[in-house]
Chain A
Amino acid sequence: MASIASPRRGRRAKRLTATAAGVTLAASTLAACGTSNAATVATLNFYSFNDPSGAVQTAVTNCSKHSGGKYTISYNKLPAAADDQRLQMARRLAAADPSMDILGLDVTWAPEFAQAGWILPWTGANEQAAKAGTLAVPLQTATWKNQLYAVPYNSNTQLLWYRDDLVKTPPKTWDEMIADAQALAKEGKPHLIEIQGAQYEGVTVWFNTLISSAGGSILTPDGSKASLGAPAVKSLEIMKKLATSGSADPSLPVQMEDQNRLAMEAGTAAFELNYPFVYPSMKADDPALFKHFKWALYPAVNAGQPARVTIGGINLAVSKYSPNPSLAFRAALCLRDRENQLNAAVEGGLPPTLESLYSDPALFTDYPFHAEILAALQAASVRPKTPAYQTVSIVISHHVSPPADIDPVGTEQAMVAEINDALASKGVIP
Chain B
Amino acid sequence: MSAQDARKGQEPVTGDTQVVTAEPAQAKPRHRRRLSEGARAERRLGWTLCAPAVLVMMAVAAFPILYAVWLSLQRYDLRFPQQAHFIGLTNYGAVLTSQYWWHALVVTLIITVISVAIEFVLGMLLAILMFRTPFFRGTMRTMILIPYGIVTVAAAYGWQYAWTPSTGYLSALFGNSAPLTKTVAAIAIIILAEVWKTTPFMALLLMAGLSLVPEDLLKAAKMDGASAWQRFVRVTLPLMKPAILVALLFRTLDAFRIFDNIYILTAGGNGTYSVSVLGYDNLFRALNLGIGSAISILIFICVAIIAFIYIKFFGAAAPGAEG
Nearest CB in chain A: distance from B63 CB, A: 15
Q: Flag B283-311 by CB within 8 Å of A: 1 or 0 each.
A: 01111101100010000000000000000
CB distance from A418 to the nearest CB of B (A): 10
Binary A-proximity of B65-102 (CB < 8 A = 1, otherwise 0): 00000000001011111000000000000110010110
Residue of B at shortest CB range from A19? B49
Chain A nearest CB, measured from B294 CB (Å): 9
For B46, B165, B282, B287, which residue has the most chain A Cβ atoms within 10 angstroms?
B287
B124 at the interface (CB under 8 A from A): no
A185 within 8 A of B: no
Q: Taking the complex as formed, is A409 at the interface, i.e. its CB lies under 8 A from any CB of chain B?
A: no
Q: A394-B285, A425-B288 are in contact. Are A199 and B270 (CB under 8 A)?
A: yes
CB distance B79 to A428 under 8 Å?
no
A116 engages B80 (CB within 8 Å)? yes
Q: Is A251 on the interface with B (CB-CB < 8 A)? A: yes
A4-12, A55-63, A167-175, A358-366: which one contacts chain B? A4-12
A112 to B287 CA separation, bound complex (whole angstroms): 10
Identify which of B1-9, B21-29, B126-134, B199-207 touches chain A.
B21-29
Known: A7-B24, A83-B285, A390-B286. A16 touches B269 (CB 8 A): no
User: Contacts A254-B178, A390-B285, A429-B285: A112 and B45 contacting too (C-beta < 8 A)?
Assistant: no
> Could you tell me if B181 and A254 are in contact, using CB atoms closer than 8 angstroms?
yes
Answer yes or no: A29 CB below 8 A from chain B CBs. no
Q: How far is the CA of A3 from the CA of B286 in the complex (A)?
A: 59
Find B19's partner among A8, A94, A254 (CB 8 Å cutoff): A8
Do the beta carbons of B16 and A4 come within 8 Å of each other? Answer: yes
Report how far A24 CA is from B95 CA in the complex, Å. 43
Q: Determine if B52 is an interface residue (Cβ-Cβ < 8 Å).
A: yes
Asked if residues B19 and A13 are in contact (CB atoms below 8 Å), the reply is no
A117 to B83, CA, bound (A): 13
* Interface flag for A36 (CB, 8 Å): no
Contacts of A200 in B (CB 8 A): 269
Residue interface mask B21-56, A partner, CB < 8 A = 1: 001100110010000000000100110010011001
Given A13-B42, A199-B270, A390-B100 contact (CB < 8 Å):
no
Using known A-B contacts A7-B19, A90-B78, determine if residue A428 contacts B270 with beta carbons closer than 8 Å.
no
Residue A17 interfacial (CB < 8 Å): yes
Contact status B281-A6, CB under 8 Å: no
Pick from B42, B56, B79: contact of A116, CB under 8 Å: B79
Determine the distance from Cα of A240 to Cα of B23 in the docked complex, in whole angstroms.
Answer: 82
A387 interface hit (Cβ, 8 Å): yes
Known contacts A6-B31, A116-B80: A428-B98 contact under CB 8 Å: yes
Report if A430-B322 is in contact (Cβ < 8 Å); known contacts: A20-B49, A112-B79, A117-B81.
Answer: no
Chain A residues 201 to 256 lying within 8 A of chain B, measured CB to CB, are 251, 253-254
Q: Is A388 an interface residue (CB 8 A)?
A: yes
A-B contact pairs, 16 of them (CB 8 A): A1-B322, A3-B20, A10-B27, A23-B52, A87-B284, A90-B78, A198-B269, A199-B270, A253-B181, A390-B287, A391-B288, A394-B281, A425-B77, A425-B291, A428-B295, A430-B273
B residues neighboring A (CB under 8 Å): 16-17, 19-20, 23-24, 27-28, 31, 42, 45-46, 49, 52-53, 56, 75, 77-81, 94-95, 98, 100-101, 165, 178, 181, 268-270, 273, 278, 281-282, 284-288, 290-291, 295, 322
* Known contacts A4-B16, A199-B269, then 19 further A-B pairs from the complex at CB < 8 Å, ordered by chain A residue: A3-B24, A3-B28, A6-B27, A7-B27, A10-B27, A13-B45, A13-B46, A16-B49, A112-B79, A251-B165, A387-B80, A388-B79, A390-B287, A391-B288, A425-B291, A428-B94, A428-B291, A429-B282, A430-B273
